[in-house]
Amino acid sequence: MSVHKTIEISAESKKGWSEAAGNVVKEASRTVKDIKSIWVKDQSAIVKDGEITSYRMNCKVTFEVKS
Name the band, by pLDDT with cuts 50, 70 and 90, for residue 10: very high
pLDDT (tens digit per residue) in 28-51? 999 999 999 999 999 999 999 999
Q: How far apart are CA 25 and CA 11, in angstroms?
A: 9
Are 22 and 38 in contact, with CB atoms under 8 Å apart?
no
Question: Per 3-state DSSP, what percentage of the chain is helix, strand, and coil (rounded to 5)?
Answer: 20, 60, 20
Instruction: Check pLDDT > 80 for residue 67.
Output: no
pLDDT of residue 2: 87
The full set of domains in the chain, from first to last, is 3-65 (3.30.1660.10)
Instruction: Check pLDDT > 90 for residue 16.
Output: yes
User: Which of 43, 42, 44, 59 is closest to 6 using CA atoms?
Assistant: 59
